[in-house]
Amino acid sequence: MSALHDAFEAARSEGRAALIGYLPSGFPDQAAGIELATAMVGSGVDIVEVGLPYSDPLMDGPTIQAAVHRALLGGSTVARVLETVSAVAATGAPALVMSYWNPIERIGPEPFAQRLAAAGGVGVITPDLTPEEAGPWRAATQAHHLDRVFLVAPSSTDARIAAVAEVTSGFVYAASTMGVTGARGSIGSRARELVSRVRMASTLPVAVGLGVSTGEQAAEVAGYADGVIVGSAFIQRILDAPDRAAALAAVRSLAAELAEGVRRPPA
């Protein structure tokens, strides 16, 4: 069992879903980003997704795009991403990298996997990598004991869900709705149905992302999923903060609210 699986098992043993937080590395700057990511863990986040900033984030909404742009302007590099991963791993929480395939392919699946494992990372979420093209990545991650996380969406056919589940080793990322990332006023009703469909094809944990921004929404999703993923809501709190201290307080407050939400008994 990997550290990622252990985190899901620990949450399950407490009768709740795991809370997964996302921040792009280097946002709002490298030092502050590390402080904010580790503060997430201190305030109740179980697993951290460290975003690898990329210049063409087609699946990301305006909030994440703004954060990624700022990180790139600040000189974000793969080395800095791995520095963030190491800092999160030092807290004891599993650290995943969220990355489009192009940066990994440019470095090479094997070298990237080797560097991530050396930094203490436990796996990678690859939102735009398809199962049909994942052969070299599967080999590299298996060689370095890293988990692979692939995505499904409400539009995914049962055959596509089965194909994704077959190449996934960490958890299945269930996008709650079609479209780009971003906090929403409500979570689409199709998310619950999607989780059920994934569970018919796989025994892996299923985590729901795209849209969760409040403790109430976290509680709703935790009622049927194994994990609740929150990204844009954290970023927006940071973007709205007047300074680093305020950003830190805002992230801690939101993490605590979400952590309470995933622990709330079903209504």
> Which H/E stretch holds residue 24?
strand 18-24
Name the CA dihedral angle for 228, 25, 102, 141, rounded to a multiple of 10 degrees: -60
- Give yes or no for a contact between 258 and 20, defined as CB atoms under 8 angstroms apart: no
Is 49 among the residues known to form the active site? yes
Beta bridge partners, 20, equal: 47, 229
- Residue 117 structure tokens: 């494992």
- Residue 214 structure tokens: 């409040």
Is 147 among the residues known to form the active site? no
- Residue 172 structure tokens: 């299945």
Q: Which amino acid, residue 168? A: T
- Residue 40 structure tokens: 């997430």
Residue in 46, 60, 147, 220 annotated catalytic: 60
**What's the CA gap between 259 and 110, in Å, rounded?**
35
Beta bridge partners, 206, equal: 172
Residue in 49, 147, 220, 226 annotated catalytic: 49
- Residues noted as catalytic: 49, 60
